[in-house]
Chains A and B, each alone.
Chain A
Amino acid sequence: MKITARLSIVIGLVLAFSSAKLAGLPAAPVSEDKKAAPSAGKSTASLDQQQMRGLDEQVQEVKSDVLSISQELSRLEEKLLYPSGTQVAIFVALAKGDQMRLDSVRLQIDGQLVTHHIYSAKELEALRKGGVQRIYVGNVATGDHQLEVLVDGKLEDGKDFSRTEHLTFSKEVKPKLVGLTLAGSGNTPVALGDW
């Protein structure tokens, strides 16, 4: 019975801590004991907690507003800088399961260098997980265009990988989306996809 009574204290504490996260385990080795956490301190902590939650609500609201501004700004930017009649967007993806370490991609449209991107570890990881990078947005006239893609990287076995591919895409009146799928292995280092 005595044990049960003591355990009930523990249970009370269990409930008090019910929002603690496992994710925080490595960082939660200690807490205060009674000496260090008097009741006045607890009420201050609770007040702080309330204030933090109140601020969190406001932060969520402002994030929502800023996201809405960002969307409107993107639409304005697209209309102003990349009207649909001339817009071309080029996307880069990695072939599924490809282990090439992509270092950089350089793009030329009709002989003009339009972008040269060097990949960070985070970006490479995002590509490997299936993300698609919009590497370039610009304007071209309607008709056929030459696209030169230069890919540099390292293969899984440590060998350098460098390929230049010449591709053609056709721009129509609507916005043009060009998808490039890169692969270190296989016969097609750069596969062109039309959307």
Chain B
Amino acid sequence: MRATRRLIGLCLAVGLAFCPAAGSDIPRDRPAGEVRSKAGTPSPELRDLYFGEALYHAFQGQYFDAIQRLDTELGMYHGLDQPELDTLHYHVNDAEFSVGDFELDYRMHHRAGRAIKAVLEGAVDESVRNEAAFRLARIHFQKGQLDDAMHALERIQGTVPPQISDDVEFLRANILMATGHPSEAVKVLKQLRSGEGLAGFVAYNLGIALLQDNRPQEAIEQLDKSGQLPAADLSGLAIRDKSNLVLGTMLFESGNFERARQSLDRVRLEGPFSNQALLRAGWAEATAKHYDRALVPWNILASREPTDIAVQEAMLAVANAYANLNLHGRAALKYGGALELFTNQIQRVDASINSIREGRFLKALMREETREDEDWVITLRTLPDAPETYYLMELMASHDFQTALHNYLDLEDLQSRLIAWRTGLDAFTDIIRLRKQNYEPLLPEVDAQFRKLDARMRLRLAQRKQLSNRLQAMLTAPRPDYLATADERSASERIAVIEKQLGNSRSPEALALRQRAAHLRGALTWRLETEYNDRLTAATVHLNELNSNVDVLTRQYESFVRTRQAATQSYVGYDKPISQLRQRVDDAQQRVDRLMAQQGHLIEVVAINQLEARRDRLVAQQLEARYGVAASYDRAARAQADAGEKK
């Protein structure tokens, strides 16, 4: 009996996964990319539209697009001469963190680590640096690089942003536990006064740390506490259930069956640990030889989903309990029921194995409805025509397998993008060809006309400039003759001709005419001199009026030059980049195809291995059930015979 109990305990222990709630489980201090201003101060105002666009993609789980958008923006920002004038400047720290978050969500730990290191090594505030160090530590911890994780945490100095201070200590405790320093982890966890969101995890991990530190009694008391903490959400309820399940198993192991039962009874009947709890509660009773009481949880369990390993174990356990109660007829019936179930399940597993070999598992993965739900890994099980997933729940719950499934889907997404881009590049080539066809015959004529207009324009602008200079000079050195009208200039020239014709004649007529000519010149000079200021002002006003026309002309000129440049730029200089991109797309497509094939094959192999292991187990249980049927009938017959003899 003791050996049985030890075996059961060991089985349970393996099944339990007595693990601390890991660093990756730390609830995020805020949703990835929530809008904040510099240095972690909340700011509701979004100042950069492209950053907002990256968030829009990220909030929909489109991390590829989010990373691409934000990386481009950050690249441009860092390339600016005066980045402080860019709108991204208001969010730059958050953007750097967000790109790291998106990369993590897109399962690109290497890049995420690099992005966060860049923040860490940049000129940022202490609180931002500390947050970066924490995030880096979390990535290292998730990747199992425990020394690096601790080293990153050691870089945290001074002010720690209050929203992450609990998470930092929780992560520190996890690292200490994972590196074999449970007593230090206990100290950290005991000092941690976390909020409601983390309280259940802290309490549970403290229990596990005490257990690791060889303090079983304290561990039991701690798990007892964490198993009774109030929980507001599903994860809180789950960790509470887990505490009770672990505690129940420990108490069972130590022979304290009554308290084990109480602890296991606290596990919710509808929770994820319910099947295991029912199974163990039954074992706790059965080990104490309370077979009738053991039948209560086991019978509940036996009516549940028959693919569950705990349910299958309960089928045999129920029959065994009846046998121990000397109800051999009932035991025979139950063994018969179990035998039938195992036979059916073996057929289902065989069907699933064949189905996976035919590639239907990967096809089911890629079905559209699979990905509509956030819990697609879970819902995969209920998909019609996908029997291959019935027995893969445990496998699907493992981190590596989930990563493999996600990677397969990501590769499929990359594949479809690359195919679309390849088509896009062909379309670009076509656009360029058509533009060339359109512009090349037109441009020589346009250029020739432009050159003529350009020459005229330059001439007029030069004249205008000369006039402007002359007016400027006349402010200090007045030249009334420069402001004479065309008539006045003509009159002045005629007077000069008359004066020349009169020569030096001393005749009375000539003298009279010379006097008249002098009178006329005097009148003309008088007008030019007296009207000089008004004329200068009017000339300046007219020249300024011309400025607006010159401005329009300049704008038109510049617009033409831009349009002309754009015309050339719309088809010249693309051949090389397009050809290089086409080559890169082709290379990437080949790599993606190869990786997809490898990833798909590995997923299938691992899934089949898992199913074969389950099949082996079912075959063993089938044998046990078959033996149980025979033995029960035998005992029932013998009991009947004994009863007959007594009569």
Q: Could you tell me which A residues sit within 8 Å of B by CB distance?
A: 3-4, 6-11, 13-15, 17-37, 41, 44-45, 48-49, 51-53, 55-60, 62-67, 69-77, 79-81, 83, 85-86, 89, 91, 93, 96, 122-123, 125-127, 129-134, 142, 173, 177, 179, 195
Q: Which residue of B lies closest to A69 (CB)?
A: B584
The answer to whether A21 and B613 have CB atoms under 8 Å apart is no
**Chain B residues whose C-beta falls within 8 Å of the C-beta of A131 in the assembled complex:** 52-53, 55-60
The answer to whether B616 and A18 have CB atoms under 8 Å apart is no
Question: Could you tell me the distance between the alpha carbons of A68 and B250 in the complex, rounded to whole angstroms?
Answer: 52
**Chain B residues whose C-beta falls within 8 Å of the C-beta of A31 in the assembled complex:** 14-17, 309, 394
**Chain A residues whose C-beta falls within 8 Å of the C-beta of B566 in the assembled complex:** 83, 85-86
Cβ of B557 under 8 Å from chain A: no
Given contacts A4-B214, A55-B602, A132-B55, contact A69 B581 (CB under 8 A): yes
Cβ of B465 under 8 Å from chain A: no
**Chain B residues whose C-beta falls within 8 Å of the C-beta of A56 in the assembled complex:** 107, 400, 403-404, 407
- Smallest CB separation, A18 vs chain B (Å): 5
**Chain A residues whose C-beta falls within 8 Å of the C-beta of B235 in the assembled complex:** 22, 25
The answer to whether A69 and B397 have CB atoms under 8 Å apart is no
Q: Which residue of A lies closest to B307 (CB)?
A: A30
The answer to whether B106 and A37 have CB atoms under 8 Å apart is no
Question: Could you tell me the distance between the alpha carbons of A60 and B143 in the complex, rounded to whole angstroms?
Answer: 14
**Total inter-chain residue pairs, C-beta < 8 Å:** 306
Cβ of B433 under 8 Å from chain A: no
Given contacts A36-B613, A129-B55, A132-B49, contact A62 B253 (CB under 8 A): no
The answer to whether B616 and A17 have CB atoms under 8 Å apart is no
Question: Could you tell me the distance between the alpha carbons of A59 and B593 in the complex, rounded to whole angstroms?
Answer: 11
- Smallest CB separation, B143 vs chain A (Å): 10
Q: What are 18 A-B pairs at a CB distance below 8 A?
A: A3-B216, A19-B22, A21-B25, A24-B397, A29-B273, A30-B394, A35-B617, A36-B614, A45-B609, A48-B602, A52-B403, A63-B106, A96-B44, A129-B55, A129-B59, A131-B59, A131-B60, A134-B49
The answer to whether B46 and A132 have CB atoms under 8 Å apart is yes
Interface string of B479-520 (1 = CB under 8 A from A): 000000000000000000000000000000000000000000
Contact residues of B: prevailing secondary structure:
helix
Size of chain B's interface in residues, with CB distance under 8 A?
123
- Smallest CB separation, A188 vs chain B (Å): 16
Identify which of B49, B235, B421 gathers the most chain A CB atoms within 10 Å of its CB. Answer: B49
**Chain A residues whose C-beta falls within 8 Å of the C-beta of B377 in the assembled complex:** 27
Given contacts A19-B399, A60-B110, A67-B64, list 16 more A-B pairs with CB under 8 A: A11-B18, A19-B144, A21-B24, A25-B272, A26-B234, A29-B309, A33-B11, A58-B595, A60-B111, A62-B592, A69-B585, A75-B72, A76-B428, A85-B566, A132-B46, A142-B559
The answer to whether A28 and B617 have CB atoms under 8 Å apart is no
The answer to whether A66 and B397 have CB atoms under 8 Å apart is no
- Smallest CB separation, B365 vs chain A (Å): 15
- Smallest CB separation, B9 vs chain A (Å): 7
**Chain A residues whose C-beta falls within 8 Å of the C-beta of B399 in the assembled complex:** 19-21, 24
The answer to whether B107 and A60 have CB atoms under 8 Å apart is yes
**Chain B residues whose C-beta falls within 8 Å of the C-beta of A62 in the assembled complex:** 411, 414, 588, 591-592, 595
**Chain B residues whose C-beta falls within 8 Å of the C-beta of A126 in the assembled complex:** 55-57, 59-60
Cβ of B598 under 8 Å from chain A: yes
**Chain A residues whose C-beta falls within 8 Å of the C-beta of B386 in the assembled complex:** none
The answer to whether A64 and B111 have CB atoms under 8 Å apart is yes
Question: Could you tell me the distance between the alpha carbons of A63 and B617 in the complex, rounded to whole angstroms?
Answer: 40
Contact residues of A: prevailing secondary structure:
helix
**Chain B residues whose C-beta falls within 8 Å of the C-beta of A79 in the assembled complex:** 569
**Chain A residues whose C-beta falls within 8 Å of the C-beta of B95 in the assembled complex:** none
- Smallest CB separation, A22 vs chain B (Å): 4
The answer to whether A37 and B613 have CB atoms under 8 Å apart is yes
**Chain B residues whose C-beta falls within 8 Å of the C-beta of A51 in the assembled complex:** 602
Q: Which residue of A lies closest to B613 (CB)?
A: A36
A177 touches which one: B49, B61, B432, B585 (CB < 8 A)? B49
Q: Which residue of B lies closest to A63 (CB)?
A: B108
**Chain B residues whose C-beta falls within 8 Å of the C-beta of A76 in the assembled complex:** 428, 574, 577-578, 581
The answer to whether B56 and A18 have CB atoms under 8 Å apart is no
Cβ of B467 under 8 Å from chain A: no
Question: Could you tell me the distance between the alpha carbons of A48 and B561 in the complex, rounded to whole angstroms?
Answer: 63
The answer to whether A10 and B25 have CB atoms under 8 Å apart is no
The answer to whether B407 and A55 have CB atoms under 8 Å apart is yes
The answer to whether B211 and A11 have CB atoms under 8 Å apart is yes
The answer to whether A63 and B414 have CB atoms under 8 Å apart is yes
**Chain A residues whose C-beta falls within 8 Å of the C-beta of B52 in the assembled complex:** 91, 93, 130-132
- Smallest CB separation, B618 vs chain A (Å): 9
Interface string of B21-37 (1 = CB under 8 A from A): 11011000001001100
**Chain A residues whose C-beta falls within 8 Å of the C-beta of B606 in the assembled complex:** 45, 48, 52
The answer to whether B18 and A28 have CB atoms under 8 Å apart is no
**Chain B residues whose C-beta falls within 8 Å of the C-beta of A11 in the assembled complex:** 18, 211-212
Q: Which residue of A lies closest to B414 (CB)?
A: A66
**Chain B residues whose C-beta falls within 8 Å of the C-beta of A21 in the assembled complex:** 22, 24-25, 399
B609 touches which one: A44, A52, A83 (CB < 8 A)? A44
Cβ of B562 under 8 Å from chain A: yes
**Chain A residues whose C-beta falls within 8 Å of the C-beta of B595 in the assembled complex:** 55, 58-59, 62
Identify which of B18, B214, B605 gathers the most chain A CB atoms within 10 Å of its CB. Answer: B18
Question: Could you tell me the distance between the alpha carbons of A44 and B584 in the complex, rounded to whole angstroms?
Answer: 36
**Chain B residues whose C-beta falls within 8 Å of the C-beta of A173 in the assembled complex:** 562
The answer to whether A80 and B431 have CB atoms under 8 Å apart is yes
Cβ of B473 under 8 Å from chain A: no
Question: Could you tell me the distance between the alpha carbons of A32 and B394 in the complex, rounded to whole angstroms?
Answer: 9
Cβ of B335 under 8 Å from chain A: no
Q: Which residue of B lies closest to A92 (CB)?
A: B56
Question: Could you tell me the distance between the alpha carbons of A81 and B428 in the complex, rounded to whole angstroms?
Answer: 9
**Chain B residues whose C-beta falls within 8 Å of the C-beta of A89 in the assembled complex:** 49
Cβ of B222 under 8 Å from chain A: no
**Chain A residues whose C-beta falls within 8 Å of the C-beta of B592 in the assembled complex:** 62, 66
The answer to whether B394 and A85 have CB atoms under 8 Å apart is no
**Chain B residues whose C-beta falls within 8 Å of the C-beta of A10 in the assembled complex:** 13, 18, 211, 249-250, 253
**Chain A residues whose C-beta falls within 8 Å of the C-beta of B401 in the assembled complex:** 52
- Smallest CB separation, A34 vs chain B (Å): 7
8 Å CB interface, B370-390 against A: 375, 377-378
The answer to whether A18 and B20 have CB atoms under 8 Å apart is yes
Q: Which residue of B lies closest to A133 (CB)?
A: B56
Q: Which residue of B lies closest to A142 (CB)?
A: B559
A25 touches which one: B107, B242, B605 (CB < 8 A)? B242
**Chain B residues whose C-beta falls within 8 Å of the C-beta of A17 in the assembled complex:** 17-19
- Smallest CB separation, A160 vs chain B (Å): 25
5 smallest A-B Cβ distances: which pairs?
A132-B52, A131-B56, A126-B59, A27-B397, A22-B25
Q: Which residue of B lies closest to A97 (CB)?
A: B44
8 Å CB interface, B40-87 against A: 44, 46, 49, 52-53, 55-61, 64, 67-68, 71-72, 75, 87
Question: Could you tell me the distance between the alpha carbons of A152 and B616 in the complex, rounded to whole angstroms?
Answer: 60
**Chain A residues whose C-beta falls within 8 Å of the C-beta of B396 in the assembled complex:** 27
